[in-house]
């Protein structure tokens, strides 16, 4: 993780939310010293170079995320401009932080009953706002982590990074549905809103395919403790809407997110049973 880039994150976001002046963007990248070889080549080709504006946007988007990138991902190989693929550039076509704030504002209006929305649109707004808030919390946790590369720190950093990526996927999934409603009056169906949840469940299930019989008793016991903790946290999310127990219950309302946690608990409980069986088999 490269904390030296944190100070440029907001500047990069501000540039992305502005008119994206080419020279200003180049100056920002030069000031940050982010991939100077690549930036120098882009500057040399100028604003009228091949896909110059898209390539600049790509680099500034990368600068936003640079502070959580591993050092090996920040290597400045100064590739030719053509080495940016169409896939790389298309990855940056998602919505900006400014767009995100418009949805957060919609959540405030919804919470304060200033505006009524169809139920599924309200779900989109609530889910998006929750993901936005959680991602911001995780970003701050990541920023506070030490730069050590010991096993525990690397593992914790990877876990946070994966969670941030999952929340970003959730936001990218929901945003077009909100825009489709505001611009065209299209109301998503319950089935459409379950698509990402179902996809994530399939991924989680695939990840959990483990041959427990091949593991040692010590390893199984560690896994059991981890799974039991995950179940407890998921149950707390359902009852208190936070991972730790609160003074008063605050049940999660019926929504796709609740279904996600209920399914997670069921899957983890099944996994726990398999682990218990494997431990018992070892005597």
162-197 pLDDT, tens digit each: 777 777 778 888 888 888 898 889 998 888 877 655
Q: Looking at residue 97, what is its pLDDT?
A: 56
Residues 238 and 274 both lie in one domain: yes
Residue 267 · residue 208 · CB < 8 Å: yes
Residues 8 and 82 both lie in one domain: yes
- Contacts with 134 (C-beta within 8 Å, 6 or more apart), sequence order: 163, 167
The span from the CA of 9 to the CA of 140, in Å, is 12
Residues 113 and 62 both lie in one domain: no
Work out the average pLDDT over 115-144. Answer: 82
Work out the average pLDDT over 214-242. Answer: 86
The span from the CA of 47 to the CA of 45, in Å, is 7
Report phi then psi at 137, rounded to 5. Answer: -60, -45
Q: What percent of the chain has pLDDT over 70?
A: 77
pLDDT above 80 for 59? yes
Residue 76 · residue 36 · CB < 8 Å: yes
The span from the CA of 206 to the CA of 218, in Å, is 24
Residues 173 and 221 both lie in one domain: no
At residue 161's C-alpha, the angle toward residues 273 and 269, to 5°, is 10
Q: What percent of the chain has pLDDT over 90?
A: 4
Work out the average pLDDT over 9-19. Answer: 80
pLDDT above 80 for 243? no
Domain of residue 276 covers 208-283
Q: Is residue 195 part of a domain?
A: no
């Amino acid at each position: 993780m490269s904390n030296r880039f944190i100070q440029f994150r907001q500047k990069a976001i501000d540039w992305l939310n502005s008119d994206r002046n080419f020279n200003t963007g180049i100056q920002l990248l030069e000031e940050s010293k982010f991939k100077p070889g690549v930036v120098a080549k882009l500057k040399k080709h100028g604003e009228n170079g091949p896909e110059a504006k898209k390539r600049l946007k790509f680099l500034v988007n990368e600068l936003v995320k640079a502070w959580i990138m591993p050092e090996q991902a920040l290597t400045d190989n100064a590739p030719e401009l053509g080495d940016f693929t169409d896939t790389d550039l298309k990855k940056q076509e998602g919505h900006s932080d400014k767009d995100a704030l418009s949805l957060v504002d919609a959540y405030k209006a919804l919470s304060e009953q200033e505006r009524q929305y169809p139920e599924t649109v309200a779900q989109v707004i609530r889910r998006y706002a929750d993901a936005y808030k959680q991602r911001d919390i995780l970003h701050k946790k990541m920023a506070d982590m030490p730069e050590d590369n010991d096993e525990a720190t690397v593992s914790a950093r990877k876990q946070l990074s994966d969670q941030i990526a999952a929340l970003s996927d959730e936001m990218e999934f929901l945003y077009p549905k909100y825009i489709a409603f505001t611009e065209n009056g299209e109301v998503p169906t319950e089935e459409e809103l379950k698509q990402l949840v179902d996809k994530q469940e399939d991924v989680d299930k695939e990840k959990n395919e483990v041959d427990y019989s091949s593991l040692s008793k010590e390893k199984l016991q560690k896994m059991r403790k981890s799974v039991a903790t995950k179940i407890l946290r998921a149950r707390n999310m359902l009852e208190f809407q936070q991972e730790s127990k609160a003074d008063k219950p605050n049940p999660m309302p019926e929504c796709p997110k609740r279904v996600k946690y209920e399914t997670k608990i069921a899957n983890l409980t099944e996994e726990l049973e398999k682990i218990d069986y494997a431990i018992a088999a070892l005597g």
